[in-house]
Structure 1
Amino acid sequence: MRSLTGIVVASLLVASLQTASAKDNENWVVSWTGSVQGPYPVGNPSAQPDQKFAFPDPAAGARDQTFRLIVRPDIWGKQARIRLSNAFGTKPVTFDGVCAGLQLGSAALLRGSNRLVTFGGKMSVTVPPGDSVWSDPVTLPFAGQPDTLAGRRLAVSFHVVGESGPMTWHAKALTTSYVTAPGAGSKGTLEDEAAFPYTTASWFFLDAIEMTAPTDAFAIMAFGDSITDGTASTMNGDDRWPNVLSRRLKAIHGNKVAVVNGGIGGNQIAGPAEYGPGKPFPGGPASGQRLERDVLSLSGISSLIWLEGINDFSKNGNAESDKVIAAMKEGVARLRAKWPHIKIVGATVTTALGSSSAAHGFPEQDTKRKALNDFIRTSGTFDGVIDFDKATLDPQSGGLKPEFVPDSTTGGAGDKLHPNRTGYLAMGQAIDLDLFKPVRAGRSAKRKE
């Protein structure tokens, strides 16, 4: 596959020639991410509607249809740029009719808010397999006072010309988005909902949004697996632990901080060894294989919180703790080599002991988890530690605290692996905010790289 860096460089150089760009007193800061993990339908979605009407043939993918993806930017600016990804496709995908507008409700947009998005000054863009592309900056007419938009949702619409083939996606959005029927054509400029009969609980092709923000604004990347992605939190509730952290920080910094989510359900640190469209894995590529795309290619990140490892020790992963520790140390070294300023915070892995999941919950897994947590707490590898294990552990059973178990998304007894909304709230509240005092952030707007 072609490298992500080349296409990003080309698109950003073209974007710099456009009249709309970050002003001298502003930088680009990543505002939202949905880490792509593979070709649909390989992945671990939550509360997914039946997709057979929207996508009758997964191999063919989208066919002459329009997506209206709903996202919640964590920092707002007067201008935005979006990234479309074909990282796990097998053929070029052409997008046109790309728009960004403010969601009113369902697939309907606030009247007059929708704006066309261009790529190198053109209304369409073709993304080769294995690549991604940034849009030109687009002015958001409704963002005159960005502080007033906190918590609002942006609708990003785009039309897939012809058949896409295997669709690059993020399975576990825990957010409802909308799709037209196959063959419906380009509908992204419409502001009503009539053309979007089908829903999805996943994000397709779109994997990052950046906003213009004051030069002292900064972003924090929450990097990990399903417990960062938000399994068992509330559908459309924005109550994952990164959301809780964001709201706490916004009470201090307002619209100058973003906490973006780089979690993928089922992700591992040390495996799988190989990953690609022809050899997908539900948890996506190993963390080290996605650091460049999901972290280092984004703007304004000053800190990263790494919470991961339980899947490496599952029956599907079954890695030794030393191998996982080595892979985590390698990832930390790669981050610091490119961004010496970045603050990397290790988060202890929460218990899965007694889980009803067939791949989790056995004593050997818990022993390996404890060894990884000892490394995170005591090795000095990290600039700080968040003890999520302590915040969620029931000392008597060795499992999650009972009140953290029932599933908030679908109801029911829960799996004793993923904390619910109550557990994520406890995790978010356990974070020492002094870990995230503003520092010089990564990849400024002025650097096109």
Structure 2
Amino acid sequence: MRWRDAAVAALCLGLLWAAPTRAQEGRAQDAQRWATAWAGSAQGPYPVGNPSAQPDQGFAFPDPAEGARDQTLRLVLRPDVWGREARLRISNAFGTRPLTLDGVHAGLQLGGAALVPGTNRPVLFSGKDRVTVPPGGEAWSDPVALPFAADPDAALLAGRKLAVSLHVVGSSGPMTWHAKALQTSYATAPGAGAHGADEDEAAFPFSTASWFFLDAVDMAAATPTPVVVAFGDSITDGTASTMNGDDRWPDVLSRRLHARFGNRVAVVNAGIGGNQVVGPAEYGPQKPFPGGPSALSRLDRDVIGLSGVASVIWLEGTNDFSRNGEASLQAVQDGMRAGVARLRAGIPGVRVIGATLTSAKGSSSPAHGHPEQDEKRRGLNAFIRDSGLFDAVVDFDAATLDPATGGLRPEMVPESTTGGKGDRLHPNRAGYLAMGSGIDLGVVLGR
């Protein structure tokens, strides 16, 4: 990048960051210090949800009502930026009993459940190595130093994965989870005790394609670091992309932004498979739904409560129109108006970007692909493009549409996760690559 381009980019980012931001209540003094580097939206109590490529969980969690029992989970995730310090948000949003954790650690993944020797660090909560989170509650950890990230801009850190280990004391009860991680994590056997300090993988025989209890990771930001939140359903969550491949459309967007701005911007994924804008009308531990709580009911936790949010890209509505939702076009439009208003009130200065819905025409899913649904989809896309509600629009429909059929382009149909034939609803890796590559970066961060 020429010096003039770099200067302009830095100025744009500085101006964007000068707009007021809102982190979670009680953290106002930290608002400019922390940037959310990873998120895994809490969607309900295990096992209600839509995981992809999930191994048999019966050995790790034989009784969902009891949840995890005296065992350690090693959750693997990819922070979108690094910092010299991190902090973790633990969620018991959909638990029905207090969740007690101890022996929490964070280290650099080597491979599988093994860690790079010397990188694992204990994580404290208010100075203690144990935390109890009430039902429906959450808790932030104290900052934990990451010596291996002493130079957060180091090229060799880019794309590396953090392993967060949590020991569940006693039985957790129903486990708050994010079903569709598309990332392999690990668990000890029930009753195995605390193994978060272990750097080897011997104690972690079981694997999972989901995340449990952990729903956000912040990194200390030494320079202005605007956070872009990708908010939506399974097409943001990454269904049919490559397992462990980090090739959802937000991942593609992230790599493009980092190529331009380095470790100065973060993209986090707040998608939930099956999510709707306005439905279901009721949601809770006793009345869960596979797609999680509605977008409107989770805005505070999954977007407004994150640190340093500067832009939101909202791609959603397909499931509202499905036979699982049966919402009217007007209801979804009204829901989007309400959601955008709440985002702007909760995060002054935020850019809210609307994304057009990709086609599900001809889908093999019995809930999707019907003519009346495609009519609503096209109506919502016209609203997104023309209503003036959004600060900008990204046209995912144009990037993926086959004009000859009105469905997805043929090369975007075969599933990348398991190699199946695809459902004509979820784009594969080729589709997500086209979506992420087609976004104007100036639209995302403001020109």
Q: Is the 8 A contact 2:25 2:305 kept in 1?
A: no
Select which of 195, 205, 214 maps to 1:197: 205
2:268 maps to 1:263: no
Query: How far apart in 1 are the matches of 2:400 and 2:268?
Result: 22
For residues 35-434 of structure 1, the aligned pairs below 5 Å read 35-148=41-154, 149-434=157-442
CA offset digits 1:305-362 (Å, max 9, x no partner)? 0000000000110110000110111000001112220000000000000000010010
What's 1:28 paired with? 34
Query: How far apart in 1 are the matches of 2:175 and 2:224?
Result: 37
| Pairwise CA distance, 1:216 | 1.7
| Pairwise CA distance, 1:215 | 3.3
Q: Could you say what secondary structure the match of 2:236 adopts? A: helix
Query: How far apart in 2 are the matches of 1:260 and 1:324?
Result: 24
One-letter amino acid of the structure 2 residue matched with residue 180 of structure 1: T
One-letter amino acid of the structure 2 residue matched with residue 255 of structure 1: N
Q: Could you say what secondary structure the match of 2:382 adopts? A: helix
One-letter amino acid of the structure 1 residue matched with residue 100 of structure 2: T
| Pairwise CA distance, 1:438 | 6.6
Query: How far apart in 2 are the matches of 1:184 and 1:325?
Result: 50
Q: Could you say what secondary structure the match of 2:319 adopts? A: coil
Q: Could you say what secondary structure the match of 2:83 adopts? A: coil
Query: How far apart in 2 are the matches of 1:9 and 1:191?
Result: 35
Q: Is the 8 A contact 1:170 1:203 kept in 2?
A: yes
| Pairwise CA distance, 1:237 | 0.1
What's 2:13 paired with? none
Count the aligned residue pairs. 422
| Pairwise CA distance, 1:9 | 5.2
| Pairwise CA distance, 1:213 | 1.3
CA offset digits 1:117-172 (Å, max 9, x no partner)? 00000100000000010000000010011122110000000100000000000000
One-letter amino acid of the structure 2 residue matched with residue 257 of structure 1: V
Query: How far apart in 1 are the matches of 2:277 and 2:73?
Result: 32
Query: How far apart in 2 are the matches of 1:201 and 1:220?
Result: 24
Q: Is the 8 A contact 1:216 1:438 kept in 2?
A: no
Gaps of at least 5 residues in structure 1 are 1-7, 17-21, 440-449
Query: How far apart in 2 are the matches of 1:437 and 1:217?
Result: 11
Query: How far apart in 2 are the matches of 1:194 and 1:237?
Result: 25
Change (3 A) 1:264 1:145: same
Q: Is the 8 A contact 1:27 1:214 kept in 2?
A: yes
Q: Is the 8 A contact 2:125 2:141 kept in 1?
A: yes
Query: How far apart in 2 are the matches of 1:230 and 1:200?
Result: 16
Give the TM-score taking structure 1 as reference length. Answer: 0.92
Query: How far apart in 2 are the matches of 1:375 and 1:199?
Result: 43
One-letter amino acid of the structure 2 residue matched with residue 272 of structure 1: P
Structure 1 stretches of 4+ with a deviation exceeding 3 A read none
Q: Is the 8 A contact 1:108 1:192 kept in 2?
A: yes
Query: How far apart in 2 are the matches of 1:437 and 1:109?
Result: 35
Query: How far apart in 2 are the matches of 1:246 and 1:214?
Result: 19
Q: Is the 8 A contact 1:97 1:124 kept in 2?
A: yes
One-letter amino acid of the structure 2 residue matched with residue 115 of structure 1: R
Query: How far apart in 1 are the matches of 2:348 and 2:221?
Result: 22
Q: Could you say what secondary structure the match of 2:432 adopts? A: helix
Query: How far apart in 2 are the matches of 1:438 and 1:392?
Result: 24
One-letter amino acid of the structure 2 residue matched with residue 339 of structure 1: I
Q: Could you say what secondary structure the match of 1:214 adopts? A: coil
Q: Could you say what secondary structure the match of 2:389 adopts? A: coil
Query: How far apart in 1 are the matches of 2:100 and 2:379?
Result: 47
Q: Is the 8 A contact 1:218 1:438 kept in 2?
A: no
Query: How far apart in 2 are the matches of 1:120 and 1:111?
Result: 27
Query: How far apart in 2 are the matches of 1:216 and 1:352?
Result: 39
Q: Could you say what secondary structure the match of 2:321 adopts? A: coil
What's 1:4 paired with? none
Q: Is the 8 A contact 1:214 1:256 kept in 2?
A: no
Q: Is the 8 A contact 1:227 1:265 kept in 2?
A: yes
